[in-house]
A = this chain, B = another copy of it.
Amino acid sequence: MEDISERMRRIVSFTNPFKYISAGENTYHPTRNPKGIISFALAQNRLCGDLMLEQVKKLDLSECDGAALLQYQDIRGMPAFRKAIADFLKDYTNSPQDIDPDKIRVCNGLTALTEVMAFILCDERDTILSPSPLYSGIVKDTGRRPNVNLHPIHLSSKPGAEGEEPYTLTVEHLERGYQEATQQGKRVRVLSLVNPLNPLGTVYTKPQIREYLQFAKRHNLHVLLDEIYLCSVYDQTKPFCSVLSLREDEIPDLNRTHFMWSFSKDFCFNASKCGVLYSWNEKVLEAATVLIDYHTVSSLIQITLTQILQNKEWLHNVYFKTCHERLREARDITMVTLDEMGVAYIKPTAGFYIWADFSKFLGASTHAEEKSLCCHLLSCGVMILVSAGFYGNEPGWFRVLFCNPKPELEEGLKRLKEGCLSYKPGTGSAIADDLAGDLANDLAGDLADVEILGASGESLESLVRSFKVSLQNSDWLKENTSDMWRNENPEVSETWIKELEKNPPE
């Protein structure tokens, strides 16, 4: 009998296109490790954490009694917390109606909430429709344990026939995607929309949202709106429309419309692990209450976040104001470098990144080549995410995060620029695919929003395992080119060698 169950073996092997990765012990630090890897990958806003940190440190527990702090709480979320969230969402979405705290459920993170919603809305092998490039965390979270499929609707980086902007999602796209999926025998249950969009950093307009909701109603689909960057719209040139900003009578199928948000991105508080569901559907809410028994949020975090939410003046006039300024500035700095490099991009108005076209540096328009470039960039000390990680079908588009502190951002952009210019098409791929196939995937291929591991680098261990298998099987190694590669990549290989010493090849 195996150590773990059959279903768990499937879940563990559900690695593509998402792998855990970190720069391991080689993470950049301005003084402690200035040659370490700068991550333009992990979607954390490190520009405004200083403000939030100060606020979290003001946590005041003096008024708390044991019942509130220590004992079992309302499983849906503490009443004061749900009330504070309701007020906050009403303000920040300009909701024309009150947000009802009883329609809110809190859950330990949007990752967990996405999984919960997949269980609630879908049976195994049901299908979720999603425009692409897409935030691939959804594929992982709905695919692993809930065993739900995602059907991507590929959009184009070219402007539309009628002059639409690149990547514009039309109802025709949705209808075509739906027909395609159903013709393949798939049962489509959900339309997934991320707004503001990840990885594009753009937003849907109110007429668009309305059209999408109508499309969903026609096909009896649930609409799952992930609005995790709701308050990270830093440039109002294009108006953002939360689904909560619609009047209830404007929403075609209230019962199948579900809103999700979290404190991770907008509050620079990824480690708070607190996601929020808002739904009008009583059965969904009841089901969510059952499942979040397994995804509860500690009272301490609920109390902390309540206090921050109640500091409305600070949130509005200090925090978000500063955040938006800093995000705008960092975007602009990044755009300057991309312009200098002659790299085209989608100008974002929200989120933490720019979706940019590095295809001109590739030798061929393949995902292998984009991985190869990405591997090379990594050896130059900067990590970005490639189109394959977002189910993009146009190789060479990368998501470049810009939420690093300014000196780190500038250093990273310098490395990015130099790395692209020094790249010889195909060579990174040789490093990657020949040396250690899986390693290349892990390092560069199929990354999206990934959870970071500790400095001891569990992911690195798994990379090393792949590396060892490749070492044993490779003819290429017999030709001693690993030494060559080591000489060319001293930083990266040093880390690996250290790991290899800890985990010698069996």
Contact = CB atoms under 8 A, between A and B. Distances in A.
Interface of A: 1, 3-8, 11-12, 20, 42, 44, 46, 49-50, 52-53, 56-57, 59, 61-62, 64-66, 69-76, 78-79, 102, 108-109, 111-112, 115, 119-124, 126, 141, 144-145, 189, 220, 255-256, 268-274, 281, 283-284, 286-287, 289-291, 293-301, 304, 451-456, 458
Contact of A272 (B124, B268, B298): B298
Contact of A7 (B44, B119, B286, B293): B119
Which of A111, A189, A298 has the most C-beta atoms of chain B within 10 angstroms of its own C-beta?
A: A298
B271 A300 contact: yes
B3 A283 contact: yes
A136 B270 CA distance: 34
Given A11-B287, A295-B108, A296-B108, A255 B3 contact: yes
Which of A11, A294, A456 has the most C-beta atoms of chain B within 10 angstroms of its own C-beta?
A: A294
Contacts of A286: 12
Given A11-B290, A108-B296, 6 more contacts: A5-B189, A8-B119, A8-B121, A46-B66, A56-B70, A74-B456
Contacts of A59: 59, 61
A5 B300 contact: no
Contacts of A66: 46, 49-50, 52-53, 268
Given A8-B119, A273-B297, A268 B70 contact: yes
21 contacts: A3-B284, A4-B284, A5-B189, A7-B119, A7-B124, A8-B121, A12-B286, A46-B71, A52-B70, A56-B69, A70-B269, A73-B452, A74-B456, A79-B454, A108-B294, A111-B296, A112-B293, A112-B296, A289-B458, A294-B295, A300-B304
Contact of A53 (B42, B70, B256, B290): B70
A193 B306 CA distance: 39
A271 B11 contact: no
A291 to B, nearest CB: 7
Contact of A144 (B20, B115, B124, B290): B290
A126 B6 CA distance: 11
A61 B57 contact: yes
A53 B71 CA distance: 10
Contacts of A281: 3
Which of A59, A273, A458 has the most C-beta atoms of chain B within 10 angstroms of its own C-beta?
A: A273
A66 B123 CA distance: 40
A284 B2 CA distance: 11
B295 A112 contact: yes
A417 B112 CA distance: 46
Which of A6, A274, A300 has the most C-beta atoms of chain B within 10 angstroms of its own C-beta?
A: A300
B61 A108 contact: no
A145 B79 CA distance: 27
A18 to B, nearest CB: 10
B456 A291 contact: no
A397 to B, nearest CB: 24
A267 to B, nearest CB: 8
Contacts of A293: 111-112, 451
